[in-house]
Chains A and B, each alone.
Chain A
Amino acid sequence: MTENARRGFLAAGATFAGAIAVAPGLHLIAPALARGAGEPASNANRWGLLIDTNKCSASCDACVKACATENGITEQVADPRQRSQWIRKIDIKEKNGRQHSLPMMCQHCSDPPCVDVCPTGASMKRADGIVLVDRHVCIGCRYCMMACPYKARSFVHEPLTEQNPQVPRGIGCVEACTLCVHRVDKGQLPACVEACTEGAMLFGNLADPNSEISRRIAHEATTQVRADLKLNTGVRYQGI
């Protein structure tokens, strides 16, 4: 082995060893810290999304497909009006002719009307801001669907089979985007964010002023849908 080759080998070895040593720390810059089993969600986090509609193409529905796969929303429903839609693409045409396309899902409001109106407390907001439906307590009254300003909730009209074990769903209950809570709790990104190859969706902690999502919201123009309702949504948009 020549001197150069030895040096190259040592440099490569040191880089590899360094990578091994640093890699566990890399998750520090991942969007979410994994939560231990039995450990409650913390209000040190408020999970949210920032969606840049300038990067969102009307022809792309990768986020919708990824959500359906991840959450097992694959049933064939005869009447499309009765289909569950946790996330959908909305095409917007403003009066001045400007057009946008964006994904719409549960906005994970800080003051969610669905939680206010739920008689049994099945609709609830976790300490980390994720709005969920407890499928064991939901009685299927659909009052939350009447209350949601974003039409973000769906009612399961038919018996379901072949569900994803991590995402229980069931006939007669109301459901909506969970922000992929089962992934977030493991420190992973929501499926829609991961699937967005255009980088239009940013997931992060709104409670941390140093997170990328907080910094961008602090310095760039962003919008809450139906901001007039003062629900303080966890999902923000850019470009509309």
Chain B
Amino acid sequence: MNTATVLSARAATSKFWLIAAVGALISAIGFGSALYMEHHGHAVTGMTNQIVWGLPHVFAIFLIVAASGVLNVASIGSVFGKTAYKKRAPLSGLLTLAMLSGGLFVLMLDLGRADRVMIAATKYNFTSVFAWNVFLYSGMFGIVAVYLWVLMEKRLYPFAKPVGVAAFVWRLVLTTGTGSIFGFLISRNAYQSALLAPMFIIMSFAWGLAVFLITQAVMFRWNGKTLDPAILKRMKNLFGTFIAAVLYFLIVYHLTNLYFAKQVAFEKFILIDSGFAAIFWIGQVLIGALLPMAILYHPRLGQRMCAVTAAAVLVIVGAFCELYVFIIGGEAFPLDIFPGAEITSSFFDGQVATYSPSLPEFLLGLGGLGVAFMITLIGVRLISKFLPEDDAVQPDAATD
């Protein structure tokens, strides 16, 4: 090994430790924020008795939904037999574990009594979607851990397909559970729809693939590798299809709401009258869907890795906007306690609820991203198999 190689390896190691330190710091700040909130109570957050779920839930649900979606890359390989995706299955599994951990970190630490996490783990009410999710999330950790083991141990390769199918089914059920957290809320105009379960699944496809594309681009750049243009083309086309599907579900969701007279006022609120309208049209629709699709299907831009990565970043920005409008906007619209009547009270009945997120809750959410980042970083550093190693151009490239 010559001196230049040694120096380059040392520089890469230093860079790794620097990045790891930043990730650890962000995670620690998130944990510190949770301790601060725990000590002072949720009074130090922007959440109130009117907006009961806030920014931490936006971060947590993004991470959990994207965690299940990113496993799709592995499923396309194991379940549907596409070779290019098989090479990416281990990284996809690692990202699932990392983001699920990050999401649960935020969700658990936002609890009013985070110290009672053992109660959440030992006492169940089986009519609660939340209680189902405790099983679905812990089961997901177990299945994906086994899946990773099977993918990395040559002797166990024959089991890759059945375990892959089990993981695929489990992730579909898990995202159905996450969508149903809202779908079963009968009292609020924004939710109470069976459409939310499939909508969350399709959202997870797009968001998960966005996270995967960004991670893959960074890893390839870090290792000085170039992604096969044919694989890039396949992945970006799939990505574009997922974004279009999310847009389709979004249109159907709002159109069905507009069809029901009782929902028209809410739709007017979200789409036209409130501050959420701007976030919806600019953040969710323009930045999160139309711009990325324009990039991906542009004849020249769509072939460039950096442009595809930029489209993935835009989709994630759009995802945060979408969850903000969905969760906060859905709560801000007043409850229809006396349909058709105007109501007022000292508890803000009949009024649009206001919400200003505070720094601690933002930092807690950011801490969740930090945890996901740290797990991914340590995983890819320790185990080289997480880096996708492509052969030549894949023979089944034309079939996607």
The 9 lowest CB-CB distance pairs between A and B, nearest first, are: A140-B112, A172-B112, A149-B187, A119-B130, A81-B48, A121-B125, A157-B43, A119-B131, A142-B52
Task: Tell whether A155 is near chain B: CB-to-CB under 8 Å.
Answer: yes
Task: Tell whether B40 is near chain A: CB-to-CB under 8 Å.
Answer: yes
Those of B86-131 within 8 Å (CB) of chain A: 111-114, 116-117, 119-120, 123-125, 127-131
Whether A91 contacts B345 by the Cβ 8 Å rule is yes
Task: Tell whether A55 is near chain B: CB-to-CB under 8 Å.
Answer: no
Whether A154 contacts B49 by the Cβ 8 Å rule is yes
Which of B50, B134, B340, B347 contacts A94 (CB under 8 A)? B340
Whether A155 contacts B52 by the Cβ 8 Å rule is yes
Q: Interface stretch among A82-90, A180-188, A204-212? A: A82-90
Which of B41, B113, B131, B187 contacts A113 (CB under 8 A)? B187
Scoring A residues 66 to 99 as 1 if CB is less than 8 Å from chain B, else 0, what string do you get? 0000000000011111111100111111110000
Which of B186, B339, B344, B354 contacts A91 (CB under 8 A)? B344
Beyond A79-B48, A85-B49, A140-B111, is A158–B40 a contact (Cβ under 8 Å)? yes
Which of A79, A143, A229, A240 contacts B187 (CB under 8 A)? A229
Scoring A residues 158 to 184 as 1 if CB is less than 8 Å from chain B, else 0, what string do you get? 110000000000011110000000000
Interface residues on A, range: 35 or more
A118 to B127, CA, bound (A): 8
Q: Secondary structure of the A side of the interface?
A: loop
Scoring A residues 129 to 148 as 1 if CB is less than 8 Å from chain B, else 0, what string do you get? 00000000111111101111
A145 to B348, CA, bound (A): 15
Task: Tell whether B146 is near chain A: CB-to-CB under 8 Å.
Answer: no
Beyond A104-B345, A155-B112, A172-B111, is A121–B124 a contact (Cβ under 8 Å)? yes
Whether A229 contacts B43 by the Cβ 8 Å rule is no
Whether B353 contacts A121 by the Cβ 8 Å rule is no
Residues of chain A within 8 A of B343, CB atoms compared: 90-93
A121 to B124, CA, bound (A): 7
Beyond A140-B111, A141-B112, A172-B111, is A121–B349 a contact (Cβ under 8 Å)? no
Task: Tell whether A117 is near chain B: CB-to-CB under 8 Å.
Answer: yes
Q: Secondary structure of the B side of the interface?
A: loop
Whether B345 contacts A172 by the Cβ 8 Å rule is no
Task: Tell whether A62 is near chain B: CB-to-CB under 8 Å.
Answer: no
A120 to B113, CA, bound (A): 12
Closest to B344 in A: A91
Interface centre among A85, A88, A172 (most CB of B within 10 A): A172
Interface centre among B119, B128, B342 (most CB of A within 10 A): B128
Residues of chain A within 8 A of B184, CB atoms compared: 116-117, 147
Closest to A116 in B: B127
Residues of chain B within 8 A of A143, CB atoms compared: 128, 130, 181
Closest to B132 in A: A119
Task: Tell whether B385 is near chain A: CB-to-CB under 8 Å.
Answer: no
Task: Tell whether A225 is near chain B: CB-to-CB under 8 Å.
Answer: yes
Whether B52 contacts A90 by the Cβ 8 Å rule is no
Those of B45-76 within 8 Å (CB) of chain A: 48-53
Beyond A113-B187, A117-B130, A147-B187, is A81–B348 a contact (Cβ under 8 Å)? yes
Whether A120 contacts B120 by the Cβ 8 Å rule is yes
Beyond A91-B344, A120-B123, is A142–B112 a contact (Cβ under 8 Å)? yes
Residues of chain A within 8 A of B134, CB atoms compared: 119
Residues of chain B within 8 A of A9, CB atoms compared: none
A41 to B117, CA, bound (A): 29
A235 vs chain B, min Cβ distance (A) = 13
Known: A90-B338, A140-B116. 20 other contacts (CB 8 A): A78-B43, A81-B49, A82-B43, A85-B346, A88-B347, A90-B344, A91-B344, A119-B130, A119-B134, A120-B124, A137-B123, A139-B116, A143-B128, A150-B335, A150-B337, A158-B40, A171-B41, A172-B113, A173-B112, A173-B113
Whether B53 contacts A142 by the Cβ 8 Å rule is yes
B126 vs chain A, min Cβ distance (A) = 9
Give the total number of A-B pairs whose CB atoms are below 8 A apart: 174
Whether A225 contacts B338 by the Cβ 8 Å rule is yes
Whether A171 contacts B112 by the Cβ 8 Å rule is yes
Those of B1-46 within 8 Å (CB) of chain A: 38, 40-43
Which of A92, A156, A171 contacts B338 (CB under 8 A)? A92
Whether B52 contacts A146 by the Cβ 8 Å rule is yes
Whether A116 contacts B128 by the Cβ 8 Å rule is yes
Interface centre among A139, A149, A173 (most CB of B within 10 A): A139
Task: Tell whether A151 is near chain B: CB-to-CB under 8 Å.
Answer: yes
Closest to B116 in A: A139
Beyond A90-B345, A225-B337, A226-B337, is A148–B49 a contact (Cβ under 8 Å)? no
Residues of chain B within 8 A of A159, CB atoms compared: 40-41
Those of A210-240 within 8 Å (CB) of chain B: 225-226, 228-229, 240
Interface centre among A95, A120, A121 (most CB of B within 10 A): A120
Whether A151 contacts B353 by the Cβ 8 Å rule is no
Task: Tell whether B291 is near chain A: CB-to-CB under 8 Å.
Answer: no
Task: Tell whether B294 is near chain A: CB-to-CB under 8 Å.
Answer: no
Residues of chain B within 8 A of A95, CB atoms compared: 340-341
- Provide a sorted-by-A list of 18 A–B residue pairs whose CB atoms are within 8 angstroms: A82-B43, A88-B346, A90-B343, A91-B345, A94-B340, A116-B184, A120-B125, A137-B116, A138-B112, A139-B113, A140-B116, A143-B128, A145-B49, A147-B187, A151-B49, A151-B335, A156-B112, A171-B41
Whether B53 contacts A146 by the Cβ 8 Å rule is yes
Interface centre among B188, B345, B347 (most CB of A within 10 A): B347
Residues of chain A within 8 A of B116, CB atoms compared: 137-140
A94 to B343, CA, bound (A): 9
Whether B52 contacts A145 by the Cβ 8 Å rule is yes
Residues of chain B within 8 A of A149, CB atoms compared: 186-187, 335, 337
